[in-house]
């Protein structure tokens, strides 16, 4: 396996005035027009200039970008998590995310374009996160998390050229994330992996669902429980790829210390609810300095891969900060799951 960094947050110019880019990570990828297209999640936050107040962003479809000032001395807020400020009534994300489009001729060296997909509508007021791209008959279906005080909803947008995008609305209501759609029907149904995110009883497990039309989903059932390997949560990562062994899925898991790893599993090609093989040791884990250190340490998190022949490239975010890529063979993956 070969790992390399391919995109750094420090090379992204902030879109919002008075903001700084803290991360460019968790990319979705697809082949389009002979190029590798990447949707990169970019997180920006207000530059903190006043030691007495903490500034958090909020996007309003009527007034645009709003900056909320939280009094650090009030005792009402918990600032211990770098990602979210909490209080008894409302939580705030410390940054606002949107998608930036990058392109590459070889899948390694990416050119950052000026095309962005910004939050839109009240259910995206805290930003949009972690896209996945599924191509079906020349149309690219993009699932993504929409964050607001209504929770985490999964929404869908479509494009044929990555120039214009049509939003289709919510397909998995709050709280649901890590939604990846299989790239064609199995039998007479479409399938998707997803993860309900909050519960008073269950842990965050990976579920599977089915649909006749990509818009209306049902048949929900648990596919993989988070505690099978001692993890605190699991979730789908890249869009599944059909191989000779079945559907290959690269998914993430996190332990009680919030250390993320990537695992591989193979699902039955005719019935993806059946897991044929699953790695019990990580396929990709934190080993490099760029995977250990960043905005949120010890994170490898994938939203996309491209498999061509025997070669597989897994694109992943590191530490909620940068983008890396791991290149390996199908043979290496099969060995991992046996």
**Beta strands at 139-148 and 151-159: parallel, antiparallel or unpaired:** antiparallel
Instruction: Say what the pLDDT of residue 197 is.
Output: 85
Is the pLDDT higher at 90 or at 164? Answer: 164
- Which tokens sit at 252? 């993430």
Reported confidence tier of residue 202, pLDDT bands at 50, 70, 90: confident
Reported confidence tier of residue 60, pLDDT bands at 50, 70, 90: confident
Cβ pair 190, 216 in contact under 8 A? no
What percent helix, strand, coil does the chain show, rounded to 5?
5, 55, 40
- Which tokens sit at 330? 């199908």
200 pLDDT higher than 80? no
63 pLDDT higher than 80? no
Share of the chain above pLDDT 90, in %: 92
- Which tokens sit at 51? 């030691």
Predicted TM-score of the model (pTM):
0.96
Instruction: Say what the pLDDT of residue 313 is.
Output: 98
Structural class in CATH, domain 2-337: mainly beta
- Please write the tens of the pLDDT for every residue from 91-138: 999 999 999 999 999 999 999 999 999 999 999 999 999 999 999 999
Phi and psi of 279, rounded to 5°? Answer: -70, 135
- Which tokens sit at 82? 């770098």
Q: In what order do the strands lie in the sheet with 218-224?
A: 176-181, 190-196, 206-211, 218-224
How many angstroms separate the CA atoms of 162 and 296, rounded? 30
- Please write the tens of the pLDDT for every residue from 250-259: 999 999 999 9
Cβ pair 251, 267 in contact under 8 A? no
Burial class for 202, CB neighbours closer than 10 Å (0-12, 13-18, 19+): exposed
Give the pLDDT mean for 74-85: 93
Instruction: Say what the pLDDT of residue 230 is.
Output: 80
DSSP label at residue 254? E
Give the pLDDT mean for 312-338: 97
70 pLDDT higher than 80? yes
201 pLDDT higher than 90? no
Instruction: Say what the pLDDT of residue 43 is.
Output: 98
199 pLDDT higher than 80? no
Strand runs labelled E in 90-243:
92-93, 96-104, 110-117, 128-136, 139-148, 151-159, 166-172, 176-181, 190-196, 206-211, 218-224, 233-236, 241-243
79 pLDDT higher than 80? yes
- Which tokens sit at 241? 């790829």
Instruction: Say what the pLDDT of residue 210 is.
Output: 98
Instruction: Say what the pLDDT of residue 89 is.
Output: 85
Give the start-to-end residue ranges of the domains of the chain: 2-337
How many angstroms separate the CA atoms of 131 and 141, rounded? 10
263 pLDDT higher than 90? yes
- Please write the tens of the pLDDT for every residue from 141-195: 999 999 998 899 999 999 999 999 999 999 999 999 999 999 999 999 999 999 9
Instruction: Say what the pLDDT of residue 187 is.
Output: 96
Average pLDDT, the chain: 95
How many angstroms separate the CA atoms of 318 and 286, rounded? 9
């Amino acid at each position: 396996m070969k790992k390399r960094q391919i995109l750094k947050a420090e090379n992204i110019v902030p879109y919002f005035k008075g903001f700084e880019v803290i991360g460019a990570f968790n990319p979705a990828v697809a082949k389009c027009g002979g190029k590798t297209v990447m949707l990169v999640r970019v997180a920006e936050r207000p530059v903190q200039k006043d030691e007495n107040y903490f500034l958090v962003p909020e996007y309003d479809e009527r007034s645009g970008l709003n900056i909320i000032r939280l009094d650090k001395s009030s005792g009402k807020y918990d600032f211990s998590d770098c990602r979210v400020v909490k209080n008894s009534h409302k939580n705030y994300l410390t940054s606002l995310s949107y998608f930036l489009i990058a392109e590459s001729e070889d899948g390694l060296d990416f050119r950052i374009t000026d095309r962005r997909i910004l939050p839109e509508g009240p259910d995206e007021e805290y930003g949009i996160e972690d896209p996945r791209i599924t191509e079906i008959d020349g149309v690219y279906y993009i699932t993504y998390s929409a964050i607001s005080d209504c929770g985490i909803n999964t929404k869908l947008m479509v494009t044929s050229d990555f120039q214009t995008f049509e939003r289709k609305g919510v397909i998995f209501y709050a709280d649901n994330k890590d939604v990846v759609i299989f790239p064609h029907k199995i039998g007479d149904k479409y399938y998707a992996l997803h993860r309900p995110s909050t519960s008073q009883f269950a842990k965050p497990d990976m579920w599977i669902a089915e649909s006749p039309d990509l818009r209306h989903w049902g048949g929900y059932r648990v596919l993989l429980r988070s505690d099978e390997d001692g993890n605190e949560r699991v979730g789908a990562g890249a869009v599944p790829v059909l191989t000779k062994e079945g559907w290959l899925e690269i998914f993430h898991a996190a332990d009680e210390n919030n250390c993320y790893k990537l695992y591989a599993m193979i699902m039955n090609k005719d019935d993806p609810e059946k897991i044929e093989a699953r790695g019990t040791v990580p396929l990709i884990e934190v080993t490099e300095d760029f995977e250990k250190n960043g905005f949120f340490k010890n994170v490898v998190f994938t939203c996309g891969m491209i498999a061509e022949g025997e070669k597989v490239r897994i694109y992943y975010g590191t530490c909620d900060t940068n983008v890396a890529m791991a290149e390996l063979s199908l043979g290496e993956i099969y060995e991992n799951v046996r």
